[in-house]
Structure 1
Amino acid sequence: MSTVVRISDHLADEAKTRSKVEHRSMTSQVEYWATIGKAAEENPDLPFSFIKETLLAMEEMKKGQKEEYTFG
């Protein structure tokens, strides 16, 4: 399901610029920022790099590219 969301022209311009560098659509770039921001807000003690790597690992698990690590 998709929903139309209004954002400022400034944020849209920044998303367009960054999306070209990151090889994403503008919409995907805004979704990425929202996902990172939500995770950071829910986990204020975690650094950005940890959040980003965790989200990447979760996506790799979904696609079967990695398997769960078992301690011990």
Structure 2
Amino acid sequence: MGMPVRIDESLYEDAKCHAKAESRTIAGQIEFWAKLGKAALDNPDLPVDFVRDLLISRAEPRDHATPFIPEGIRSDSHD
């Protein structure tokens, strides 16, 4: 259930621009920023870009995921 929240007009306009570019609703953009900020504060040892990419990847459908294969294990590597 959504809750109305008052925010600064400049933050709203900034969220509006980013939301359009990132195919989110304005509320979805602000929620993403809040989750990113919380995750970054909870994990200060991780770079913010890493935390952002992790949140984005967790939101993607699993059937679109590419499995991680470490370089030393690839079948096409030649020793």
Structure 2 stretches of 5 or more lacking a match? 69-79
TM-superposition CA deviations, 1:13-63 (whole Å, max 9, x none):
101111111111111110110010000011111101211222233334xx4
Tell me the TM-score normalized by structure 1. 0.76
Aligned length: 67
Aligned counterparts of 1:44 and 1:16: Cα–Cα separation in 2: 28
Aligned counterparts of 1:41 and 1:18: Cα–Cα separation in 2: 22
Moved more, 42-51 or 6-15: 42-51
Tell me the TM-score normalized by structure 2. 0.70
How far apart are 1:3 and its partner, in Å?
A: 0.7
CA RMSD of aligned residues (A): 2.0
Percent identity reads 39
Larger radius of gyration: 2
